Chain A
Amino acid sequence: MDKILLAHGGGGSKSAELTRKVFQRFLRDPLLLEMEDAARLPGQVFTTDSFVVKPLFFPGGDIGRLAVCGTVNDLAVMGAEPLYLSIAFIIEEGFPVTALERILASIAAASRASGARIVCADTKVVEKGKADGLFINTAGIGRPVFRQPVRPSRVRPGDVVMVNGPLGLHGISVLTARGEFGLRASVRSDVAPLWGLIGKCRALDVPFMRDPTRGGLAQTLNELAHGRRFGVRIMENELPIPKKVAAVCDLLGFDPLHVANEGKVVMVVAGADAERALKILRRHPLGKGARRIGEITAAHPGRVVMATRSGSERIVMPPVGEILPRIC
C-alpha cells in the first residue's frame, strides 16, 4: 500500500490492515500490541482518541460531547473509572467563536456527567482549509475497579452476550445530519458517557466489554472472536434495531450491524451473573433497553455466527472499508 485511503479510517478490516502492516512495524510496545481499547498500566488504564466527525453538530450531540464520551467510554469498557482527561484542539482559521463556545459548553457538561476531570489542554490554529472546522484529540486515565479482571482471555463458552440498548443510532444520526443522500430525518445520536451504567456491574464477572463504535457490532464481535478458541453466536430476532435505523439501512443498502454507536456497550457476562447484569443495567437510564443478544459458544471458534429469522444461519463478517466516512 502506498497511499492512505479513506477506507483505512473506517474501523473495519482495512483499518486493521493499516495498523498491522504499517503502524505495528514501528510502534511495537507490548502494551500497545494488546490492542485493547486502553493500555493497562500499573494501577491505571490510559487511552487516546481523535475526533473528526462531520458535521460538528448533530441531533443528540456534537464533536465536543463525542470527544469526552468516546475516551471516557474506552476507559469504562476496561472496567476502569474515568478520572482525568486531556484535550487538544486543532482549529481552522475563521472558525466562529460562538460555535467554539457551544462545543466547549458541551465538553464541560459531558465531563461533569462522566465524572472525569479535564486537567490539561492545548490549542493550535491552522490555515483556512486545513482542518475542516475543528479536530479534537482527547486522552484519558482511569482506575480499574472491576473486582474480576475484564480480559478477553477469560471469556468462556456459556458466557452471555448483551447490549444496553438500540443499535445504529449514532452513525445514522450523523449521516442524516449531513443531509447526505438527500435524506432528511431527525435521528438522535446515542452519544453518552457510560461509566455511570457500566460501573454498576463492577461486582459481577464480566470478562469482556467494548463500545461498538466505527465498524459497529459486527466489528466488535469479530475483534472478540478473532483467533480465539470460542465462537460468538447472536440471534437476529434479539437485535434491537430501531425503525429509523432499519429504514435508512434498507434505503441505502447498509447493514445495521456495521453502523457506529457512541452510547452502547457490548458486554460478555459470565452465565451465572447474566440475569443480575440485565437487572442492574435496566435500572439505569442508559440501560433501559438492555437485552441478551447471544452467547459465547464452543462451536465455530474464531467466528461470529448469527441465527437468522428464518431459522437458518449466516456468518457475520466485519465491514471492509468505509461505510460512512467521518462519523466519529
Chain B
Amino acid sequence: MAEKNRLAALADRLRHFPARPLTKVMEVCGTHTVAIRRAGIQHLLPETVKLVSGPGCPVCVTPDHFIDEAVSLARRGVIVTSFGDMLRVPGSRSSLEEERAAGSDIRAVYSPLDALEIAAASGRETVFLAVGFETTAPAIAAAGMMALERKIANFSLLTALRLVPPALQALMSEDARLSGFLLPGHVSAIIGRQAYGFLAARRLPGVISGFGAEDIITSLLHLLEMINKDIYKIVNTYPRGVRDRGNARSRAVLAQVFEPADAEWRGLGLIPSSGLRLRPAYAALDARRRFAIRVDGAPARKGCRCGDVLRGLIDPPACPAFNKACRPDRPLGPCMVSSEGSCSAWVTYG
C-alpha cells in the first residue's frame, strides 16, 4: 500500500503547490496527453496553472494530403500497412478504414517489421505508412535497411516523419506566454537531454518525464518549482529510459537512412528541417518515387480547428465542432480520431 500512499501524497502536493499566476505549461507528447487525462491529473493542478497539449501526436500533425496519398495507393491494389490509428483518420474524401470496407487491402501493424513480413510473405507491393517522431524513425530506418539486406524489393515507405525540437522552437516563437514544457519521455530516449539546450537559452525550463501517474506528477512538481524560482534547466525524471546523450546508435541508424527536410505540420504550417526524407542511397524505399502518386489538392475541411488545438491556442471544447459535428465515431479531423489526439482524449477521459 506504500505506492498508493506515495501517489496520494504526490497528488496532494500538486494540488496545494503555490504556483505563480498565469503559469502555462505545455506537454508535447500524445502519449502524455492520454496518460494525463486517463489518470485525471489535469484535475490536480493548482488553479493558476494551465496545461495545454502541443503537437505531440504524429498522426494529428500529418496533413490530409498524406491520407489522400495512402488512399490513392490502396486503390491501386497496393497493400497498405500502417499503425492502427491512421486507419480512421479522414482524408479530404475518404479514410483508409472506408477504403478497406470498399475492398482495398489495408492492414494495421504494430511494427514496421510486421509490414516487412507481409511484403515478404505476399510478394505483392506493400507500402508502410512511416509516421512518427524520433522514437519511431530509427525503427523505421532499421526496417528499411533490413528490407534492402533481405532483398525484399516489393517493400516501400510513404514517409511523414517529424522531429520534435524544431516544432518546440516554432511554438516558442509563437507563444510568448509559455512558462515551460513537459518533455516526451521516449523521443528523449533517442535524442537525449542534450537536445533541449535551446529551451534553457530561451529561459524555458523543461522536464523529461515517463508515463506513469507518479512520473508525471513528480515531473510537473519539478517544473512548477523551476518556474517559481526562475530556474531554466532541463531535468530528466525518467533516467530509466533517457540518458543525457540519448541513444547514439539509434540516431546513427536514423541518419544513415534519412536526412532532414522541410515539413508541413497541421496547424503549424511549414517548419524548415522539421521532417525526414529518405537519403538518395535509399531511394529504392521511397513509395512516392516508385508509384508516382497523384493527388488532387484537398479542399480545406470546414469547421475543423485541429490546427489551433495542436498549437495549444484553444482547448478542444473551444472548437465549435467539438463533440457535436466532430466526434470519435465521426471525426472531422485527426485530433478527434487519433488515440493520442487531444480532442479524443478530452472526449474519452473528460
A6-B100 in contact (CB<8A):
yes
A323 nearest in chain B by CB position:
B84
**How distant is B219 from chain A, measured CB to nearest CB, in Å?**
13
A312-B114 in contact (CB<8A):
no
Please, what's the 1-or-0 string for B89-129, where 1 marks a CB less than 8 Å from any CB in chain A?
A: 00000000110111000000111011000000000000000
Known: A13-B329, A310-B213, A312-B39. A317 touches B8 (CB 8 A): no
A16 nearest in chain B by CB position:
B329
Task: Give CA–CA (A299, B148) in the complex, Å.
Answer: 59
A181-B41 in contact (CB<8A):
no
Residues of B316-350 whose CB lies within 8 A of A: 328-329, 339, 347-350
B101-A6 in contact (CB<8A):
yes
**How distant is A241 from chain B, measured CB to nearest CB, in Å?**
14
Task: Determine whether A14 belongs to the interface, using a CB cutoff of 8 Å to chain B.
Answer: yes
A5-B349 in contact (CB<8A):
no
Q: Taking chain B's interface residues, is the majority helix, strand, or loop, or is none over half, making it mixed?
A: helix
B214 nearest in chain A by CB position:
A310
Please, what's the 1-or-0 string for A1-42, where 1 marks a CB less than 8 Å from any CB in chain B?
A: 001111100000110010000000000000000000000000
B339-A314 in contact (CB<8A):
no
Please, what's the 1-or-0 string for A307-321, where 1 marks a CB less than 8 Å from any CB in chain B?
A: 011111111010011
Chain B neighbourhood of A314, CB < 8 A: 37-40, 349-350
Chain A neighbourhood of B329, CB < 8 A: 13-14, 17, 320-321
Chain B neighbourhood of A237, CB < 8 A: 4
Task: Give CA–CA (A308, B8) in the complex, Å.
Answer: 10
Task: Give CA–CA (A274, B103) in the complex, Å.
Answer: 51
B102-A3 in contact (CB<8A):
yes
B40-A317 in contact (CB<8A):
no
Chain A neighbourhood of B348, CB < 8 A: 315, 317
Task: Determine whether A119 belongs to the interface, using a CB cutoff of 8 Å to chain B.
Answer: no
Task: Give CA–CA (A14, B97) in the complex, Å.
Answer: 13
Task: Determine whether B217 belongs to the interface, using a CB cutoff of 8 Å to chain A.
Answer: yes
Chain B neighbourhood of A14, CB < 8 A: 329
Task: Determine whether A182 belongs to the interface, using a CB cutoff of 8 Å to chain B.
Answer: yes
A17 nearest in chain B by CB position:
B329
Task: Give CA–CA (A315, B346) in the complex, Å.
Answer: 9
Chain B neighbourhood of A182, CB < 8 A: 110-111, 113-114
**How distant is A274 from chain B, measured CB to nearest CB, in Å?**
23
A308-B114 in contact (CB<8A):
no
Please, what's the 1-or-0 string for A236-266, where 1 marks a CB less than 8 Å from any CB in chain B?
A: 0100000000000001110000000000000
**How distant is B87 from chain A, measured CB to nearest CB, in Å?**
9
Residues of B13-49 whose CB lies within 8 A of A: 37-41, 43-44
**How distant is B88 from chain A, measured CB to nearest CB, in Å?**
7
Task: Give CA–CA (A148, B62) in the complex, Å.
Answer: 55
**How distant is B317 from chain A, measured CB to nearest CB, in Å?**
13
Task: Give CA–CA (A305, B349) in the complex, Å.
Answer: 9
Task: Give CA–CA (A310, B7) in the complex, Å.
Answer: 6
Which of B41, B97, B98, B110 touches A312 (beta carbons < 8 Å)?
B41
Task: Determine which residue in B7, B102, B214, B328 has the highest number of CB atoms from chain A within 10 A of its CB, and name it.
Answer: B328
Task: Determine which residue in B7, B11, B39, B109 has the highest number of CB atoms from chain A within 10 A of its CB, and name it.
Answer: B39
Which of A4, A6, A251, A310 touches B39 (beta carbons < 8 Å)?
A310
Task: Give CA–CA (A14, B98) in the complex, Å.
Answer: 14
Chain B neighbourhood of A7, CB < 8 A: 88, 97
B110-A252 in contact (CB<8A):
yes
Task: Give CA–CA (A3, B111) in the complex, Å.
Answer: 29
Hey, which bits of chain A sit against chain B, CB under 8 A?
3-7, 13-14, 17, 181-182, 237, 251-253, 305, 308-315, 317, 320-321
12 contacts between A and B (CB under 8 A): A3-B102, A5-B101, A6-B101, A13-B328, A181-B109, A253-B339, A308-B40, A310-B8, A310-B213, A312-B41, A312-B43, A315-B349
| 3 shortest interchain CB distances as A-B pairs | A312-B40, A315-B350, A181-B110
Additional 10 contacts, C-beta under 8 A, given A7-B97, A182-B111, A315-B348: A5-B97, A6-B97, A13-B328, A181-B109, A310-B7, A310-B8, A312-B43, A314-B350, A317-B328, A321-B97
